[in-house]
Structure 1
Amino acid sequence: MLNLVLFGPPGAGKGTQSQNLIDHYHLVHISTGDIFRAHIKNQTALGREVSQLLADGKLVPDDITIAMLEEEVKKNPGAKGFIFDGFPRTVPQAEALDVFLSSINEKITAVIALDVTQEELTRRIAERHKITNRPDDEADKLKKRIDEYFTKTIQVLPYYEAQGKLDKVNGIGNIDTIFADLRKVIDAL
């Protein structure tokens, strides 16, 4: 099974490239952001809680995120593999993911980090906000999300690097070129 973590800050292109990888490798996409947005849209109790946390620029607690992620994996028993998008964001989440995958005789195959400058991120998200009007792309919330990534979330990379599972791909440029670079990394595994 091919299990990938696509890693990068908000606006790095994870959603775009995840879709390309899903189509090419026939993987199941698990985006914690999509899961959270679905709960928010359906106004579940969890959705209201997540909405408030995101509005405050905070991360959703690990226990909630991990339980939702495990539920999504279990919904797809015949999957050829998964792309984990937006997860893990902390070392404890990475450890919990490893424990969960091990419990079903699986593991993370590779972690691919999309490398994008903060200037490019800001430009991309401003454009995305004009099109989608996502509330988490508003300037003040965005700054908190990007700061959170560069002060906390990026600390996950050494965890996977120590396991020999980390690769980096330049996330700036033509979408098709970035996708070709991702495929080179994956096909070499």
Structure 2
Amino acid sequence: MVNLILFGPPGSGKGTQSANIIEKYGLIHLSTGDMLRSELGAKTPLGLEAQKFIDQGLLVPDEVVIGMISSKLDANPDARGFIFDGFPRTTAQAEALDKLLLLKKTSISMVLSLEVPEDELVRRLLNRGLTSGRTDDASEDVVKARIVEYHNKTAPVADHYAKFGKFKKVKGDGSVESTFELLSKELDALTSEKV
């Protein structure tokens, strides 16, 4: 089983590359945002628990998110692997995820981080802001603040996985195709090890 975390600041191409990885490698996309919306919509016990926090304007606790991930893993016993999107964002979340995966007799295989220079990220996001209608992509100051926030929050998570030799940087400022080729080299090596 290949369990992948794809990292990258806003504008690095995570969404596009996640879709390519899912299509080529048959991994299941685990988006904590999508899972939360699904649990809320289905009014599951975890969804109802999450709703209590959301109604108070609070973040959904890590335990509830881990519970949702656990349910998703259990619902896909024959999966080739998973790609984690939006989680973990903190070292505590990474440690909780590691414990959960250990209970399921698996682990994170690799964290791949799309590396793109800041000026290219700003250019991409401002261009996206012109066409997407996303207000968080319309202002250069807001875009730069999001990039700084990303680096501050995720650097410790990268360090956590680097300790285990599970963190690799991938050049992400080329074309979609060339970036996917670099990601595929890493994933091909992983999938050949897992066979």
Give the TM-score category using the shorter length.
Answer: 0.7 to 0.9
Deviations 1:66-117 (A, max 9, x none): 3333333333222110011222111111111101111111111111010012
Q: Distance in 1 between matches of 2:41 and 2:10?
A: 20
**What fraction of aligned residue pairs are identical, expressed as a percent?**
47
**1:11-160 mapped onto 2 (5 Å cutoff):** 11-35=11-35, 46=50, 49=54, 61-134=61-134, 136-137=136-137, 139=139, 142-160=143-161
Which residue identity does 1:105 align to in structure 2? K
Which residue identity does 1:49 align to in structure 2? I
> What's the secondary structure of 1:10's corresponding residue?
coil
Determine which structure has more spread, i.e. the larger CA radius of gyration. Answer: 2
**Shift in Å at residue 137 of structure 1?**
4.0
Deviates more, 1:156-165 or 1:31-40: 31-40
Which residue identity does 2:27 align to in structure 1? L
* Count of matched residue pairs: 183
CA RMSD of aligned residues (A): 3.0
Which residue identity does 2:177 align to in structure 1? D
Q: Distance in 1 between matches of 2:8 and 2:159?
A: 14
Normalising by structure 1, we get a TM-score of 0.81
Deviates more, 1:146-155 or 1:7-16: 146-155
- Equivalence for 1:10: 10
Q: Distance in 1 between matches of 2:36 and 2:9?
A: 17
> What's the secondary structure of 2:98's corresponding residue?
helix
Which residue identity does 2:93 align to in structure 1? Q
- Equivalence for 2:175: 174
Distance 1:75 1:127, change over 3 A: farther
- Equivalence for 2:193: none
Q: Distance in 1 between matches of 2:21 and 2:41?
A: 26
Which residue identity does 2:8 align to in structure 1? G
Distance 1:76 1:138, change over 3 A: farther
> What's the secondary structure of 2:67's corresponding residue?
helix
Q: Distance in 2 between matches of 1:39 and 1:141?
A: 31
Which residue identity does 1:149 align to in structure 2? Y
Which residue identity does 1:160 align to in structure 2? Y
Normalising by structure 2, we get a TM-score of 0.78
Deviates more, 1:125-134 or 1:179-188: 125-134
- Equivalence for 1:184: 185
Q: Distance in 1 between matches of 2:131 and 2:63?
A: 32
Point out where structure 2 has 5 or more consecutive residues left out of the alignment: 191-195
